[in-house]
Amino acid sequence: MSEGGEQGGRAVRSPGALAEHLRHVWRSAVLTSARNSPARLALTVFTVMIGLVTALLMSPVAAAEGTPTSFRDALFTSVSAICVTGLTTVDTASHWSTAGLVVIMIAMKIGGLGVLTLASLLGLSVMRSMGLAQRIITARETRAERLAEVGGVLRTIVITSTTFEVITFLALVPYMFATDHSTGASLFYGAFYAISAFNNAGFVPEPGGITQYLADPFFTIPISTAVFVGSLGFPVILVLVKKWRTPRHWTLHAKLTLATSGILLVAGLLGYLAMEWSNPRTLGAEGFGSKVLASLFASVMPRSGGFATLDISALEPQTRLFTDLLMFIGGGSGSTGGGIKVTTFALLALSIVAEARGDRDVEVFGRRIPHETIRQAIGVLVMSASVVFVSTFLVLEMTPFSLDEVLFEVLSAFGTVGLSTGITPHLGDAASFVLIVCMYLGRIGPMTLGAALALRSRSRVVRLPSERPIVG
């Protein structure tokens, strides 16, 4: 080839060469970001996904009426879907077209995998390997026992979550057929509900919501089971799948999550039964079996499920306060749920008991909990409570709604639950953006956000003398 031809070849690259060059640039950028700050990479990917889904939902094709959706409504729905929350400013069933519902369904699936898992999967697909820093932070999220297992754990997460979604889908579709849904509607609703339930999203594609399924075991049992399993967290699910025959070999995290989740489930069941038993607007007119099944369903949903067969606005004030607590606790660590997590709640309760007894160490299931872990739990509690307090204060300033209603909505957003008293569609733009921030922080976690924004960890060589101040 002549010199001019070579120069021309350098100046004009073939499509394949251009694609390879762009892939190399993208790979280098991701690799550099993963090495310097894997948490920031995760947040960046998470934010980009929200922007992409928002753009898709603003398209006229995504709306049932064929008109563009406003930026606020599209952004709110996008964040709610990616953060697997379920709060909406528009009615999901009537506002969105089939294409819009498909976008929401895909967003729920991606969001359910988790922000750090998503970033790690991106790193695996682009780089085909992960750096040490990214392996470490992903190991924290997935609780992998060895750093070398992270890639396999991530693949197992995708396979396991999809398997549970398929099981839920297969359980729901025959029931949809039996309840006079068309073939297409049965298949679509089954898939939508399965993804929404396991990922604890709480989006409902049917007009009128799911109050029509109150105390219907063929619908509520598959949905509540999927929500509960999804809220346990992938670390617990993986332990149960691998070691279900040998409970004595379960990790402390799995034992603590299962025990605490079981206690909260029973407490929720008894609480809803006791407080709503005579309420004529909820359970008052139902039979005993219906009351128990509806209360069990309601007890599972604050884990971060967000489905409601009972009218939340009709609940007794004390029931809503009780639900506030359950939503603040949330689901398991590394799960599709939000909140401060059940293990955080359990560690705080155990530390209070140990302090009351005068014990030096916090012990459970034959293991001693390190003091650093207790400090981390306290940090999560304080940071989460601060976000809820500030958000509640701001929304109260911006809207005419009561403290009871606003606190419920803020906790539902921060806990990525999706239960609502019905005020979310009536919030102004400013208050809606406050809830958007709550959903974002509730999904990624205040501790993760702090790690992403911190330039470097602070280490000190010299430790100051200790002195005990008066407490209480």
Distance CA 38, CA 138 (A): 9
The pLDDT of residue 294: 95
**Residue 50 to residue 48: CA distance in whole angstroms:** 5
Cα 128 to chain centroid, rounded:
27
pLDDT of 125 over the 50 cut: no
| Range ranked top by mean pLDDT from 210-214, 336-340, 389-393 | 389-393
Asked whether the predicted pLDDT for residue 459 surpasses 70, the reply is: no
**Residue that wins the pLDDT comparison between 67 and 113:** 67
Quote the pTM value: 0.84
What are φ and ψ of residue 322, in 5° steps?
-60, -40
pLDDT for the residue numbered 175? 92
Mean pLDDT computed over 172-189: 91
Please give the pLDDT value at position 107: 94
pLDDT of residue 279: 94
Tell me: the pLDDT tens digits for 282-306? Answer: 999 999 999 999 999 999 999 888 8
Which pLDDT value is given to residue 23? Answer: 66
Give residue 30's pLDDT band: very low, low, confident or very high (50, 70, 90).
low
pLDDT band, very low/low/confident/very high, at 251 (cuts 50, 70, 90): confident
% of the chain beyond a pLDDT of 90: 52
pLDDT digits (tens, 9 = 90+) for 303-324: 888 899 999 999 999 999 999 9
> Any idea which of 217-221, 232-236, 436-440 has the lowest mean pLDDT?
232-236
Query: Higher-confidence residue: 239 or 283?
Result: 283
Angle 459-461-462 (CA atoms, 0-180°, nearest 5)?
120
Look at 317 and 448; give whichever has higher pLDDT. 317
pLDDT of residue 451: 53
Of residues 160 and 176, the one with the higher pLDDT is 176
Q: Percentage of residues in the chain with pLDDT exceeding 70?
A: 79
Taking only the tens place, the pLDDT of each residue in 152-161 is 666 777 888 8
What six digits make up the tokens of 413? 């957003």
Mean pLDDT of 6-14: 51
pLDDT score of 2 more than 50: no
